[in-house]
Structure 1
Amino acid sequence: MRLMNRPSKPLMVSAVALLGVMAVVVVALVTRRDSDGPSTHPDSIATPLANRADSAVPRPASRRPANDRFVGSQKCAECHDEIAQAYELHTMSHAIAKVPDDRGVETVEQAVIRPGGVCVYKVKKDERGWWHCEAAVDAEGKTIYEQWEQVHYAIGSGIRGRTYVI
């Protein structure tokens, strides 16, 4: 029975060097910061997007606690005001909101989107709120069906995008 040949020393050195380079790349990717995102380090206070000159997100009104046992963010802010403000003003504090909200994110009064095929999507605003429509049209443009639903919630801050839930 013949034993496998051991790898040569230069091959082993090359393999170890390659693994080292790969480890450095992985660490760099994992620990890098996005240029417009907050640091994940707990001691870092990033400039909240709402404080930046290019941001249109106003500071949200204080929220009422869900029940009396919840002390709320204001209690934490008594000792950690700078951190509390950074979190409160960050776009993620606007992760979900009732529509319409008072931030003025929705600026389009009416829109029609035709992605191709038979589907047509419409959005409109009236005195009762925001509405979403899914419709289908035939080859001549005649409506096959049309279904309107009121939009109740939005997910996302509106800075990079927003998804609506009906």
Structure 2
Amino acid sequence: MANSPDIRIADEIETAINAESFALNFTAERLYVADWDVMKELDNLQVGVWPGESSAAIWERGLLQKSYRIGLSFCQKISAAPRCRVDELCDLVTEVQDFLELTVVDLGDGLKYVNQGWEYLLRFDDDKLDRNKGADQIIKYTGLFASILVFDFVSLE
């Protein structure tokens, strides 16, 4: 078991997400690099949780405010998917974001790590999606759905 707070927070987030029921099924994986094999792994929705950059700043009375960034990535290959399928994937990301929004992580070390908000690094990657209109005039998307967001957890020491 790791001792670093960022790794332990990421592990706790992975566990919490996997224990929850969401609109679409997936199993989150704690990782360092979201380099899933497009041909072998992305037929199914992949969700990654990783520790990001940490920081510390002077807070008050000689105390530090430490911040631990935790990233989440969502990725799936889609083929001739209607707009509603892309909507479902975007909605899932929002659903997970809402679930984690007010999260407090207690690692049992006497400190609680509080989520201070979230930020999209990538809502969805429009460069990875092709929009095609078929003979039936219905627009469908093919390519790779990818979304990345980060959460900053802080502890006061």
Please tell me the TM-score bracket, short chain as reference: under 0.3
Query: TM-score, normalization: structure 2?
Result: 0.24
Higher Rg? 1
Structure with bigger RCO (C-alpha 8 Å, 6+ apart): 2
Higher strand share: 2
- Greater helix proportion: 1
